[in-house]
Structure 1
Amino acid sequence: MPGKLQLAAAARQVDRSIPKSGDINQVFHQRFLDEVNLDLNLPRALAVVWALVKSDLPPADKRATLLQMDRILGLDLENVESDNDAAPADIFDLIEQQRQARKEKNWALADLLREQLKERGWVVKDDAVADD
Protein backbone atom coordinates (compact mmCIF):
# COMPACT_ATOMS: atom_id res chain seq x y z
CA MET A 1 0.00 0.00 0.00
CA PRO A 2 1.46 3.40 -0.84
CA GLY A 3 2.89 5.32 2.08
CA LYS A 4 0.33 8.10 1.91
CA LEU A 5 -2.53 5.61 2.27
CA GLN A 6 -0.72 3.84 5.10
CA LEU A 7 -0.43 7.08 7.00
CA ALA A 8 -4.04 7.95 6.31
CA ALA A 9 -5.06 4.58 7.70
CA ALA A 10 -2.88 5.14 10.76
CA ALA A 11 -4.33 8.59 11.27
CA ARG A 12 -7.83 7.18 11.25
CA GLN A 13 -6.84 5.04 14.23
CA VAL A 14 -6.43 8.28 16.19
CA ASP A 15 -10.17 8.66 16.49
CA ARG A 16 -11.18 11.41 18.88
CA SER A 17 -13.85 9.10 20.32
CA ILE A 18 -11.17 6.72 21.63
CA PRO A 19 -10.38 7.49 25.28
CA LYS A 20 -7.13 9.35 25.86
CA SER A 21 -6.41 7.18 28.88
CA GLY A 22 -4.50 4.50 26.96
CA ASP A 23 -1.01 3.37 27.85
CA ILE A 24 1.97 3.62 25.52
CA ASN A 25 2.92 0.11 24.44
CA GLN A 26 6.62 -0.07 25.26
CA VAL A 27 7.34 -2.98 22.89
CA PHE A 28 6.05 -1.16 19.80
CA HIS A 29 7.48 2.15 20.95
CA GLN A 30 10.95 0.67 21.50
CA ARG A 31 10.88 -1.10 18.10
CA PHE A 32 9.97 2.24 16.52
CA LEU A 33 12.79 4.05 18.34
CA ASP A 34 15.29 1.33 17.41
CA GLU A 35 14.50 1.81 13.71
CA VAL A 36 14.57 5.61 13.89
CA ASN A 37 17.89 5.52 15.74
CA LEU A 38 19.38 3.13 13.17
CA ASP A 39 20.43 5.70 10.57
CA LEU A 40 16.95 7.22 10.60
CA ASN A 41 15.43 4.11 9.01
CA LEU A 42 12.01 5.67 8.40
CA PRO A 43 10.66 2.96 6.07
CA ARG A 44 11.14 0.37 8.80
CA ALA A 45 9.89 2.79 11.47
CA LEU A 46 6.71 3.27 9.43
CA ALA A 47 6.41 -0.51 9.13
CA VAL A 48 6.36 -0.62 12.94
CA VAL A 49 3.62 2.06 12.92
CA TRP A 50 1.61 -0.06 10.49
CA ALA A 51 2.12 -3.20 12.61
CA LEU A 52 0.84 -1.24 15.61
CA VAL A 53 -2.26 -0.12 13.72
CA LYS A 54 -3.03 -3.73 12.69
CA SER A 55 -2.28 -5.18 16.14
CA ASP A 56 -4.79 -6.52 18.64
CA LEU A 57 -3.93 -3.86 21.22
CA PRO A 58 -6.82 -1.98 22.80
CA PRO A 59 -7.71 1.10 20.73
CA ALA A 60 -6.79 3.49 23.55
CA ASP A 61 -3.30 1.95 23.79
CA LYS A 62 -2.88 2.11 20.00
CA ARG A 63 -3.85 5.76 20.10
CA ALA A 64 -1.44 6.62 22.91
CA THR A 65 1.43 4.73 21.27
CA LEU A 66 0.77 6.18 17.82
CA LEU A 67 0.65 9.71 19.17
CA GLN A 68 3.92 9.14 21.02
CA MET A 69 5.53 7.94 17.76
CA ASP A 70 4.08 10.96 16.00
CA ARG A 71 6.08 13.24 18.29
CA ILE A 72 9.08 12.10 16.22
CA LEU A 73 7.32 11.83 12.86
CA GLY A 74 5.73 15.28 13.16
CA LEU A 75 2.63 14.37 11.16
CA ASP A 76 0.22 15.96 13.65
CA LEU A 77 -1.96 12.84 13.56
CA GLU A 78 -4.02 14.02 16.50
CA ASN A 79 -5.38 16.84 14.37
CA VAL A 80 -6.04 14.93 11.14
CA GLU A 81 -9.53 15.72 10.02
CA SER A 82 -11.79 13.55 7.96
CA ASP A 83 -12.42 14.94 4.52
CA ASN A 84 -14.21 13.97 1.37
CA ASP A 85 -10.95 12.83 -0.23
CA ALA A 86 -10.50 10.02 2.30
CA ALA A 87 -10.98 6.52 0.96
CA PRO A 88 -14.07 4.66 2.14
CA ALA A 89 -13.53 1.66 4.42
CA ASP A 90 -14.24 -0.83 1.61
CA ILE A 91 -11.42 0.71 -0.44
CA PHE A 92 -9.02 0.25 2.47
CA ASP A 93 -10.22 -3.37 2.72
CA LEU A 94 -9.46 -3.96 -0.97
CA ILE A 95 -6.05 -2.34 -0.57
CA GLU A 96 -5.26 -4.57 2.41
CA GLN A 97 -6.40 -7.66 0.47
CA GLN A 98 -4.19 -6.62 -2.46
CA ARG A 99 -1.23 -6.09 -0.15
CA GLN A 100 -1.79 -9.50 1.44
CA ALA A 101 -2.04 -11.17 -1.97
CA ARG A 102 1.32 -9.63 -2.93
CA LYS A 103 2.82 -10.78 0.35
CA GLU A 104 1.63 -14.32 -0.42
CA LYS A 105 2.95 -13.96 -4.00
CA ASN A 106 -0.55 -14.51 -5.37
CA TRP A 107 0.10 -12.22 -8.31
CA ALA A 108 -3.12 -13.01 -10.19
CA LEU A 109 -5.28 -12.04 -7.22
CA ALA A 110 -3.13 -8.96 -6.52
CA ASP A 111 -3.56 -7.83 -10.14
CA LEU A 112 -7.32 -8.48 -10.02
CA LEU A 113 -7.69 -6.44 -6.83
CA ARG A 114 -5.56 -3.64 -8.28
CA GLU A 115 -7.86 -3.55 -11.33
CA GLN A 116 -10.96 -3.46 -9.10
CA LEU A 117 -9.48 -0.49 -7.27
CA LYS A 118 -8.62 1.21 -10.56
CA GLU A 119 -12.20 0.74 -11.81
CA ARG A 120 -13.38 2.54 -8.67
CA GLY A 121 -10.96 5.42 -9.25
CA TRP A 122 -8.13 4.44 -6.88
CA VAL A 123 -4.59 3.66 -8.02
CA VAL A 124 -2.29 1.36 -6.05
CA LYS A 125 1.40 1.62 -6.85
CA ASP A 126 3.33 -1.38 -5.59
CA ASP A 127 6.86 -1.03 -4.33
CA ALA A 128 9.26 -2.96 -2.14
CA VAL A 129 9.07 -0.48 0.77
CA ALA A 130 5.29 -0.77 1.05
CA ASP A 131 5.53 -4.54 1.25
CA ASP A 132 7.91 -4.68 4.22
Structure 2
Amino acid sequence: LGVSGLMGAGRTELMKVLYGALPRSSGKVRLVQQEIHNTCPQDGLNHGIVYISEDRKGDGLILGMSVKENMSLTALAYFSQSIQIDHKAEQLAVGDFITMFNIKTPSQEQQIGLLSGGNQQKVAIAKGLMTRPK
Protein backbone atom coordinates (compact mmCIF):
# COMPACT_ATOMS: atom_id res chain seq x y z
CA LEU A 1 0.00 0.00 0.00
CA GLY A 2 1.31 3.40 -0.87
CA VAL A 3 -0.32 6.65 0.15
CA SER A 4 0.22 9.95 -1.56
CA GLY A 5 -1.06 13.43 -1.02
CA LEU A 6 -0.11 17.05 -0.73
CA MET A 7 2.09 18.31 2.08
CA GLY A 8 -0.02 18.93 5.16
CA ALA A 9 -2.78 16.52 4.10
CA GLY A 10 -1.96 14.07 6.93
CA ARG A 11 -0.46 11.22 4.92
CA THR A 12 2.66 10.97 7.11
CA GLU A 13 0.58 11.01 10.28
CA LEU A 14 -1.77 8.35 8.90
CA MET A 15 1.14 6.06 8.05
CA LYS A 16 2.73 6.58 11.48
CA VAL A 17 -0.60 5.70 13.16
CA LEU A 18 -0.92 2.50 11.10
CA TYR A 19 2.67 1.56 11.98
CA GLY A 20 2.28 2.36 15.67
CA ALA A 21 4.63 5.33 15.86
CA LEU A 22 1.77 7.74 16.70
CA PRO A 23 -1.29 7.04 18.86
CA ARG A 24 -4.64 6.48 17.18
CA SER A 25 -7.27 9.00 18.29
CA SER A 26 -10.28 7.37 16.64
CA GLY A 27 -11.32 4.75 14.13
CA LYS A 28 -10.18 1.17 13.70
CA VAL A 29 -7.29 -0.45 11.92
CA ARG A 30 -8.04 -3.77 10.26
CA LEU A 31 -5.55 -6.05 8.57
CA VAL A 32 -6.67 -9.23 6.82
CA GLN A 33 -10.16 -8.88 8.34
CA GLN A 34 -8.81 -8.61 11.89
CA GLU A 35 -8.69 -5.48 14.03
CA ILE A 36 -5.18 -4.66 15.22
CA HIS A 37 -3.91 -2.25 17.86
CA ASN A 38 -0.42 -0.95 17.15
CA THR A 39 0.77 1.09 20.11
CA CYS A 40 4.45 1.08 19.14
CA PRO A 41 6.52 0.42 16.00
CA GLN A 42 7.34 -3.12 17.19
CA ASP A 43 3.59 -3.88 17.10
CA GLY A 44 3.49 -2.68 13.51
CA LEU A 45 6.46 -4.86 12.57
CA ASN A 46 4.89 -7.84 14.34
CA HIS A 47 1.76 -7.35 12.21
CA GLY A 48 3.81 -7.10 9.01
CA ILE A 49 3.55 -3.33 8.63
CA VAL A 50 6.57 -1.16 7.87
CA TYR A 51 6.96 2.58 7.66
CA ILE A 52 9.46 3.99 5.17
CA SER A 53 9.99 7.60 6.09
CA GLU A 54 10.17 10.37 3.55
CA ASP A 55 12.85 11.89 5.82
CA ARG A 56 15.56 9.26 5.50
CA LYS A 57 18.14 11.27 7.45
CA GLY A 58 15.92 12.31 10.34
CA ASP A 59 13.61 9.34 10.64
CA GLY A 60 14.78 6.45 8.48
CA LEU A 61 18.52 5.85 8.81
CA ILE A 62 21.27 6.08 11.39
CA LEU A 63 23.93 7.93 9.42
CA GLY A 64 26.86 6.86 11.62
CA MET A 65 26.12 3.16 11.07
CA SER A 66 27.04 1.00 8.10
CA VAL A 67 24.87 0.07 5.13
CA LYS A 68 24.53 -3.47 6.54
CA GLU A 69 23.62 -2.31 10.04
CA ASN A 70 21.02 0.13 8.77
CA MET A 71 19.48 -2.34 6.35
CA SER A 72 19.19 -5.24 8.79
CA LEU A 73 18.41 -3.29 11.96
CA THR A 74 14.65 -3.91 12.01
CA ALA A 75 14.99 -7.44 10.61
CA LEU A 76 17.49 -8.86 13.11
CA ALA A 77 14.90 -11.39 14.33
CA TYR A 78 15.28 -13.16 10.97
CA PHE A 79 19.02 -13.53 11.51
CA SER A 80 19.13 -14.56 15.15
CA GLN A 81 18.80 -17.80 16.98
CA SER A 82 18.20 -17.06 20.67
CA ILE A 83 20.69 -14.26 21.41
CA GLN A 84 23.23 -14.86 18.64
CA ILE A 85 23.08 -13.26 15.19
CA ASP A 86 23.81 -15.39 12.12
CA HIS A 87 26.12 -12.86 10.47
CA LYS A 88 26.53 -14.95 7.31
CA ALA A 89 22.75 -15.02 6.71
CA GLU A 90 22.60 -11.28 7.45
CA GLN A 91 25.40 -10.55 4.96
CA LEU A 92 23.76 -12.70 2.28
CA ALA A 93 20.39 -10.95 2.68
CA VAL A 94 21.98 -7.49 2.64
CA GLY A 95 24.01 -8.46 -0.43
CA ASP A 96 20.84 -9.60 -2.18
CA PHE A 97 19.15 -6.24 -1.53
CA ILE A 98 22.26 -4.30 -2.59
CA THR A 99 22.15 -6.19 -5.89
CA MET A 100 18.36 -5.99 -6.28
CA PHE A 101 18.29 -2.22 -5.73
CA ASN A 102 21.61 -1.57 -7.50
CA ILE A 103 22.93 0.29 -4.44
CA LYS A 104 26.26 1.92 -5.19
CA THR A 105 28.49 1.20 -2.18
CA PRO A 106 32.08 -0.01 -1.92
CA SER A 107 31.03 -2.53 0.75
CA GLN A 108 28.31 -3.44 3.21
CA GLU A 109 30.47 -1.90 5.92
CA GLN A 110 30.45 1.55 4.26
CA GLN A 111 29.07 4.23 6.57
CA ILE A 112 25.68 5.11 5.15
CA GLY A 113 26.18 8.84 5.64
CA LEU A 114 28.88 8.71 2.95
CA LEU A 115 26.52 7.39 0.25
CA SER A 116 24.60 9.61 -2.16
CA GLY A 117 21.06 10.58 -1.20
CA GLY A 118 19.57 8.26 -3.79
CA ASN A 119 21.55 5.29 -2.50
CA GLN A 120 20.58 6.18 1.07
CA GLN A 121 16.93 6.14 -0.01
CA LYS A 122 17.39 2.72 -1.62
CA VAL A 123 18.82 1.40 1.67
CA ALA A 124 15.86 2.87 3.57
CA ILE A 125 13.43 1.07 1.26
CA ALA A 126 15.41 -2.18 1.48
CA LYS A 127 15.39 -1.85 5.28
CA GLY A 128 11.60 -1.87 5.22
CA LEU A 129 11.33 -4.73 2.76
CA MET A 130 13.85 -6.86 4.64
CA THR A 131 11.28 -7.25 7.44
CA ARG A 132 9.07 -9.16 4.98
CA PRO A 133 6.00 -6.92 5.31
CA LYS A 134 2.51 -8.07 4.41
When normalised by structure 1's length, the TM-score is 0.26
Higher relative contact order by CA 8 Å / sep ≥ 6: 1 or 2?
1
When normalised by structure 2's length, the TM-score is 0.26
> Going by fraction, where is strand more abundant, 1 or 2?
2
